[in-house]
Chain A
Amino acid sequence: MSVSSPVSPPGSLTLANSATASPVTLTPWEDSAGDEKRCWICFVEEGEDRNPGAAVQPPSVWVRPCKCKNSLKYTHEDCLLRWISEKQHQLPPPLSSGFSGAQPVRCPACAHPYQLIEDTDGVLNVLAWLDKAIGTVVPYVSLGTVSLAVYVVATTYGAYAVMTMCGADVGETLLSDNNWGWRTWVGLPTIPLSLVCSRLTAADAALPLLPFLILGNDHIRLGFPPSPALTVCILPWARLLYNAVWERVTPLFDRFFDPPPRYGALSGPPASARTSFFATARQYWRILVSGRDDEGRRLRAAGEEDEEDDGAGNGRDRDDEVPRRDGQRLVLGSLFLPAAAQISGTLLVSLPFLRARLPADTFHRNIVCGAILVVAKDIAAVVYRAHRRRQKRSRRVLDYRGD
C-alpha cells in the first residue's frame, strides 16, 4: 500500500519543501489546540449536534486512532470506519494475507496502521475460504469450458467431413463404436484444422506428416487403387507438388490471358505485328524455367505483390487486382470444401460419360472432384485477375463536353 501522505503530492520538489501544503499546518483550527475535540473527517466539534433537526442523534463515539496530534487527533468512530472501508475498497486484498481482511489501512498523515477489532467465527472463515477458492478456480474452469466447446465443435465438424467424403454407409462404419479409439478423438478435430492450414503456408512442414501420425501403420497399405488411408496420406504431398507447379505456371496463365501491352519503340525492341508461334513458345518456356521474361523482368506469381515496379505508367495499384485474402473467406472456403466436393461429385457422376471414368467408390470420387474444384477455382482466380487488370488498363477519362 502506498501511504497516501498529504505532504507529498506527485513528485513536486518545491511542494514537498513547502510544508504548508500539509493540512496539518494549513488548517486554521490548528492554533486552537485547546481541549475541544473536532472530528478531522466530518469537522463536527464535540457538543455540536451531528444531525440537527433529526430526533435521533447518531452516537458520537470519539476515538484517537493514531499518533497524530492537534487537529488530526480525534475523530468519530463511525466516520473513521467509513473512511477505512473506503480505502479497503480501493486497495485489492493482497494474495498472501489471510481471508479475514485486506491490508491494514494507515493514517494518511502519520502512516500509523489503524488497529481494528472485529468478530470472527468459524462459519465466516469457512465461507470466506470457499469464496476465495471459487474466485481462484473460476477463470480456469471458464477457459477449460471454452476450449472444450471448441474441441467438440471441431470433432463434430470432423465427423461431418468424414460422413460427407466417404458417403453415409462407409462413414457410419468408420465412426462406429468398434473403430472409435484415441485416433478418432485426435484425428477428427484435426480435420478442420488441417483444412484451414491447407490454405496457408504456415504449416507446410507439418501437414505431410500428420496423417501418418494419426492414422497409424495398421491402416496404411500400399497398393493400387490406393486405400482411403493411403490417399489421405498422399494428399498433403500432392498439395505441395501442386502448389510448387502452380507457382511456376501462373505467370504463363497471366501472360496468356493478359498479354503485356506493347509500347512500340519506347521500351524494348520494336515488336513486329505478328509474333511467330515459335517466338511465343520460346518466351513461355523461358518464363516457365527461369521465372523471367525476355527483358529480364521477374514475373509475379499468383497473389504475389509486385515489389519491383517496372516503369512509370505500368505501376500496379493495390486496390482491386488481387482478390482480397481475408480470414473469413479463407476459413469458410476451406471448411466448405468437403461439402462442395460431395455436391460436385454427385453432379458429375450423374453424367453417363463421367460415370465410367470417375472412381467407383464415393471417397475417391469426392477426392477427385475436390481436386478438380481447387484447380478450377485457382484458374478462375487467375482469369478474374487478368480481366480486372485488362479492364483497368482500358480505363480512360472522358473529356467534358457539356459546353
Chain B
Amino acid sequence: MDAVSRRLLKELRDYRRERTAAALTVASLGPVSDSDLMLWQAAILGSQGTAYEGGRFDLDIAVPPSYPMQPPTIRFVGRVCHPNVHFKTGEICLDLLKTAWSPAWTLQSACFAIGALLTSPEPDSPLNCDAANLLRCGDTRGYDSLVRMCTLVHAVPSTSEVVEAERKARRT
C-alpha cells in the first residue's frame, strides 16, 4: 500500500472514530467506492441561524496522487449561492485549496473550512458576481433571502424525497 492510501485510510479512521465538533458541519465523509481511494464524497450542513440552515451540500473530492503535498480538488455537486462558489461548476475559491495548503490539513478539516466559508463570504474575490455584488452594496437582507431561496430549492431534501428514502429504508 502506498503512502497516500495509508494516510487516507488513517484520515477515514480518524473521522469515523472521533466525532468532534467538526462533525456537526461535516455530516458525512468517505470514499465513493471501496475500490478507489482517490475519489471521495462529503456532505456539509449549513450552520444553524444562517441562511444556509437546513441545507445539505454535497462535495466531490478528488485526491491527487501527490497528496498530501498537493491539496485535494474539492467542488460542490449541487448549486450553492455564495460569492466564492461558482454557481454552475461548484468550483470553490479558497486559498486553503490552492496556495495555503499544508499537509497538516486533512480532508475532514478542509470540508470543515468550506463549511465555515459558507457563513463568512469574501466578496472581493468572487466566482459568483451577482451574489458578491449584493454583499458589496451592503444589501445583506437581499443576499440572505437569495441564499435562503437557493438553499431551499437546491439543498434542502424535499418532503417526497425524505418519504421515499424512509420507504426504501423500511423495505430493506
Q: Is the CB of B102 within 8 A of A6?
A: yes
* Chain A facing B: main interface SS: loop
Q: Is the CB of B103 within 8 A of A21?
A: no
A221 contacts chain B at the CB level, 8 A cutoff: no
Q: Is the CB of B100 within 8 A of A5?
A: yes
Q: Is the CB of A18 within 8 A of B116?
A: yes
The interface bits of chain A over 21-44 (1 if a CB of B lies within 8 angstroms of the residue's CB, else 0) are 101101111000000000011111
Residues of B within 8 A of A4 (CB): 95, 99-102
Which of B95, B96, B104, B113 contacts A109 (CB under 8 A)?
A: B104
Q: Is the CB of A9 within 8 A of B100?
A: yes
Within 8 A of A (CB), among B1-39: 1, 3, 6-7, 10-11, 14, 17-18, 20-22
How many angstroms from the CA of A354 to the CA of B161 in the assembled complex? 96
Within 8 A of A (CB), among B79-128: 84, 93-96, 99-106, 108-109, 112-113, 116-117, 119-122, 124-125
The interface bits of chain A over 60-87 (1 if a CB of B lies within 8 angstroms of the residue's CB, else 0) are 0000000000001000000100110010
Which of A9, A20, A41, A50 contacts B96 (CB under 8 A)?
A: A9
B153 contacts chain A at the CB level, 8 A cutoff: no
How many angstroms from the CA of A29 to the CA of B18 in the assembled complex? 9
Given the known inter-chain contacts A4-B99, A12-B122, please indicate yes or no for A42 contacting B106, CB distance below 8 A. Answer: no
A96 contacts chain B at the CB level, 8 A cutoff: no
How many angstroms from the CA of A12 to the CA of B10 in the assembled complex? 29
Nearest CB in chain B: distance from A57 CB, A = 12
Q: Is the CB of A15 within 8 A of B113?
A: yes
Q: Is the CB of A108 within 8 A of B120?
A: no
Given the known inter-chain contacts A52-B1, A86-B69, please indicate yes or no for A9 contacting B104, CB distance below 8 A. Answer: no
Of all chain B residues, the one with the shortest Cβ separation from A54 is: B1
How many angstroms from the CA of A43 to the CA of B93 in the assembled complex? 27
B41 contacts chain A at the CB level, 8 A cutoff: no
Which of A12, A42, A82 contacts B6 (CB under 8 A)?
A: A42
Within 8 A of A (CB), among B34-59: none
How many angstroms from the CA of A12 to the CA of B68 in the assembled complex? 24
Q: Is the CB of B116 within 8 A of A28?
A: no
A10 contacts chain B at the CB level, 8 A cutoff: yes
Q: Is the CB of B109 within 8 A of A82?
A: no
A11 contacts chain B at the CB level, 8 A cutoff: yes
The interface bits of chain A over 1-19 (1 if a CB of B lies within 8 angstroms of the residue's CB, else 0) are 0101110011111110010
A90 contacts chain B at the CB level, 8 A cutoff: yes
How many angstroms from the CA of A114 to the CA of B38 in the assembled complex? 30
Which of B3, B124, B125 contacts A42 (CB under 8 A)?
A: B3
How many angstroms from the CA of A9 to the CA of B10 in the assembled complex? 24
Interface range for B? 35 or more
Q: Is the CB of A20 within 8 A of B112?
A: yes
Q: Give the number of residue pairs across the A-B interface with Cβ within 8 Å.
A: 105
B133 contacts chain A at the CB level, 8 A cutoff: no
Which of B101, B103, B119 contacts A14 (CB under 8 A)?
A: B119
Residues of A within 8 A of B66 (CB): 86
Residues of B within 8 A of A15 (CB): 113, 116-117, 120
Q: Is the CB of B116 within 8 A of A21?
A: yes
How many angstroms from the CA of A351 to the CA of B122 in the assembled complex? 82
Residues of A within 8 A of B6 (CB): 42-44
Q: Is the CB of A108 within 8 A of B7?
A: no
Given the known inter-chain contacts A9-B117, A28-B17, A41-B68, please indicate yes or no for A83 contacting B112, CB distance below 8 A. Answer: no
Of all chain A residues, the one with the shortest Cβ separation from B84 is: A10
Nearest CB in chain A: distance from B54 CB, A = 19
Q: Is the CB of B94 within 8 A of A9?
A: yes
Q: Is the CB of B103 within 8 A of A83?
A: yes
Of all chain A residues, the one with the shortest Cβ separation from B100 is: A4
Q: Is the CB of B94 within 8 A of A6?
A: no
A53 contacts chain B at the CB level, 8 A cutoff: yes
How many angstroms from the CA of A72 to the CA of B103 in the assembled complex? 10
Nearest CB in chain B: distance from A80 CB, A = 9
Of all chain A residues, the one with the shortest Cβ separation from B15 is: A28
Q: Is the CB of A26 within 8 A of B22?
A: yes
Nearest CB in chain B: distance from A188 CB, A = 53
Given contacts A10-B94, A13-B120, 7 further A-B contacts (CB under 8 A): A12-B122, A15-B113, A21-B116, A24-B104, A27-B106, A27-B109, A82-B69
Residues on B lying within 8 angstroms of A by beta carbon are 1, 3, 6-7, 10-11, 14, 17-18, 20-22, 66, 68-70, 84, 93-96, 99-106, 108-109, 112-113, 116-117, 119-122, 124-125
Residues on A lying within 8 angstroms of B by beta carbon are 2, 4-6, 9-15, 18, 20-21, 23-24, 26-29, 40-44, 50-53, 72, 79, 82-83, 86, 90, 108-109
Pick the 5 closest A-B CB pairs, nearest first.
A108-B102, A12-B120, A28-B18, A15-B116, A4-B100
19 contacts between A and B (CB under 8 A): A6-B100, A6-B105, A9-B95, A13-B120, A14-B120, A23-B104, A24-B104, A26-B106, A26-B108, A28-B14, A29-B14, A43-B7, A43-B11, A44-B7, A51-B3, A52-B1, A83-B69, A86-B66, A86-B70
